[in-house]
Amino acid sequence: MNVKHIFIMSAFALTLGCSSAQQKSYGSFSDYPVYQDKWEEMVYNPASTVFSLWAPTAQEVRVLLYEQGEGGSAYKMLTMTPDKDGMWKVEEKGDLKGKFYTFNIKIDDIWQGDTPGVMAKAVGVNGDRAAIIDLKSTDPVGWEADKRPPLKSFSDIIIYEMHHRDFSIDTISGIKHRGKFLALTEDSTTTFLGEKTGIDHLKELGVTHVHLLPSFDFSSVDETKLDKPQYNWGYDPKNYNVPEGSYSTDPYKPDVRIREFKQMVMALHKAGIRVIMDVVYNHTAVTEGSNFERTVPGYFYRHDKEGKFANASACGNETASERPMMRKFMIESVCYWAKEYHIDGFRFDLMGIHDIETMNAIRQALDKIDPTIYMYGEGWAAGAPQLPEEKLAMKNNTYKMPGVAAFSDEFRDSLRGPFGNDARGAFVIGRPGHEAGIKFGLVGGVMHPQINNSPKHKVPKIWAESPNQFISYVSCHDDLCLVDRLKTTLPGASVQELMALQKLAETAVFTSQGVPFIYAGDEILRDKKGVHNSYNSSDSINAIDWRYKTQYKEVFDYVKGLIAMRKAHPAFRMGNAELISKHLEFIDVPASNVVAFRLKGNPCGDSWVNTIVVLNARTEPVKVDVPEGKYWIACRDGKIDLVMGLGVVMGNQLTVSPRSAMIVHQ
């Protein structure tokens, strides 16, 4: 066993003699110095470039300069000198714009291997070398005037989760830059049948936020071979602070991916749509050989009791967010995306691996930039992290993280069935016993006098302090999309049945007081051929088939109507637990597989009074007793009409058709 391995496994460094600088030794990771200034590894100006690297355990650090982003040998080597708080620095005179560089760190007499560093903000093809550029020159025309679309409250958010390639790769999309950042800059794109696609589809649908699956530089797609079909979701981080090259028109030119990403953000902002970025700070694509490990071995990752790399991510490692420099890395990285790229929100992959203190620190840092930037994540981990649960950003600890939201798997599973058992359905297909979980989701996961008061049907712990901390959804990129799940749980279902059930499920999501979230393509009955983990499947599995927008137009129109209704009527998005408890009242329905509620009065000044929503998952009509009155019908039998309405009903009873929702108001 060499000294490096002892260091990693025990978290103790040994003091070794060396031919250059004296190697520092530390008793434990908590003894490592913390760099207090802004963490930058390359600062360029035409007169000189300053390189910096935090490498507190290094004996020696070099910077290698290259003419190209790949291939060839370094044309110059610079020797760095120790600076304060574990930082190494060197300044090179002259204009280096357009050059590339790597660091190499010597620890325990072993050179760790080339790395672009951990804070690289521009890279060459495949991200192996960092690039020296003037970031200001990457701003597209009009970038300084770019503004975030207005957002009064988190309760006004409607999220649309999208993968760049899925959304635009279909040949009939009418999009020129298919599968690229620029796909979302093209307007007036349509199918050959005239249906709007791309950014015009998003505007037509009415969503407020687009959630982009990982768009930073990831490992799994070879950017030198883009002529060959390659696909990945991108949950395999390489360089966290650089856009992914395969989504650009030229991954060899470092400025192109940056500029095109900014063009995409600016185009979405002009369309009135905010941009959420999916961030994956909980693990790296590789452990040995990663940028973190080649820079400060052991420090950025957690280890188990045996000294091996811990693996709560199920991807080979888990990062140590509780360590000051990993926490600083996450805070500065998120803030960099918010400032440099005008990102409006962040979705944290396996957020439960991170510690609560770090998530709160990120929230506080973003509040200083813009408090309307939204934060949410998966409130769980793939395995047991190395920290006590009370310190982790798990779903049940959401109340400890004001301004941070989590996905509600309880609501999802109550609607469509449990994760890990594809064949078992739930409320939507008429399986009894899930009414309590539906109610839990409809109130946005907050305390309510009619929730968890039944000894027979209880839901898990109420964990949201505010409905804005509760993501309401029925499907996402993970697991089966909704249509595939319905086909599995209801074999032989007709197209008409699938459309009806899809509408019913989406009605629950969009009438929930939580923040609604829809998976791209669900609004046009998108399927993935039954593949539940399509992270590297082909386009034939993952691509949205834009012919479906014509084929299933009634589903699109229905979802569009739900979104318009939610936007127009604040009673569906009160954003306050006390208001929900006061105004949202569940109506007793003796029949199973039916949930009904009334929004009493006109909460938040809504123009609708005493709105009633009934979700009927039964295969026969159901009668629901309601307060006596005259009601205008906004939704019935799979149709929504907010302008003319769908008729009037008088009296104290509603009749709701099978497998459908009914929404009425006074």
DSSP string computed for 64-109: EEESSSSSS--SEEEE-EE-GGGEEEEEEES--TT-EEEEEEEETT
Tell me how crowded residue 38 is: count the other CB atoms within 10 A of its CB: 9
* Distance, CA of 363 to CA of 351 (rounded, Å): 13
* Cβ contact 435:590 at 8 Å: no
What pLDDT shows up at residue 24?
83
Domains delineated in the chain: 3-138 (2.60.40.10), 583-665 (2.60.40.1180)
What is the rounded average pLDDT of the residues 275-304? Answer: 98
User: Does 378 participate in catalysis according to the annotation?
Assistant: yes
Two tokens, residue 108: 């325990």
Q: What angle do CA 223, 293, 38 make, to 5 degrees?
A: 90
Q: What angle do CA 365, 370, 371 make, to 5 degrees?
A: 80
Q: Which residues of 254-265 are buried (b: 16+ CB within 10 A; e: fewer)?
A: bbbbbbbbbbbb
pLDDT at 5 over 60: no
Q: Which residues of 116-132 are buried (b: 16+ CB within 10 A; e: fewer)?
A: bbbbbbbbbbbbbbbbb
What pLDDT shows up at residue 13?
36
* Cβ contact 539:527 at 8 Å: no
What is the rounded average pLDDT of the residues 544-562? Answer: 98
Tell me how crowded residue 489 is: count the other CB atoms within 10 A of its CB: 21
Two tokens, residue 477: 């990129």
What pLDDT shows up at residue 460?
66
pLDDT at 417 over 70: yes
Tell me how crowded residue 285 is: count the other CB atoms within 10 A of its CB: 19
- Per residue in 27-67, pLDDT (tens digit) is 899 999 999 999 999 999 999 999 999 999 999 999 999 99
Catalytic annotation, pick one of 260, 278, 378, 527: 378
- Per residue in 500-536, pLDDT (tens digit) is 999 999 999 999 999 999 999 999 999 999 999 999 9
Burial class (CB in 10 A: 0-12, 13-18, 19+), 99: buried
* Distance, CA of 177 to CA of 185 (rounded, Å): 9
Band (361; pLDDT cuts 50, 70, 90): very high
Catalytic annotation, pick one of 166, 217, 349, 410: 349
- Per residue in 366-386, pLDDT (tens digit) is 999 999 999 999 999 999 999
| Selection from 196, 147, 192 nearest residue 167 by Cα | 196
Tell me how crowded residue 270 is: count the other CB atoms within 10 A of its CB: 15
Sign (positive or negative) of CA dihedral 398, 403, 409, 415: positive
Sign (positive or negative) of CA dihedral 372, 378, 380, 385: negative
What pLDDT shows up at residue 452?
73
User: Does 349 participate in catalysis according to the annotation?
Assistant: yes
What pLDDT shows up at residue 23?
81
Q: Please, where are the H alpha helices in 312-422?
A: 324-340, 356-369, 409-416
* Cβ contact 161:220 at 8 Å: no
pLDDT at 260 over 50: yes
Reduced to 3 states (helix: H, G, I; strand: E, B; else coil), residue 648 is: strand
* Distance, CA of 233 to CA of 248 (rounded, Å): 16
Element (H, E) at 665: strand 660-665
What is the rounded average pLDDT of the residues 194-221? Answer: 98
| Selection from 239, 249, 245, 342 nearest residue 292 by Cα | 239
* Distance, CA of 401 to CA of 403 (rounded, Å): 6
List CB contacts of 78: < 8 A, sequence separation 6 or more. Answer: 51, 62, 63, 64, 65, 90, 92
What is the rounded average pLDDT of the residues 413-419? Answer: 96
Two tokens, residue 83: 């600076």
What pLDDT shows up at residue 244?
98
Residue matched to tokens 């490096």: 4
pLDDT at 3 over 60: no
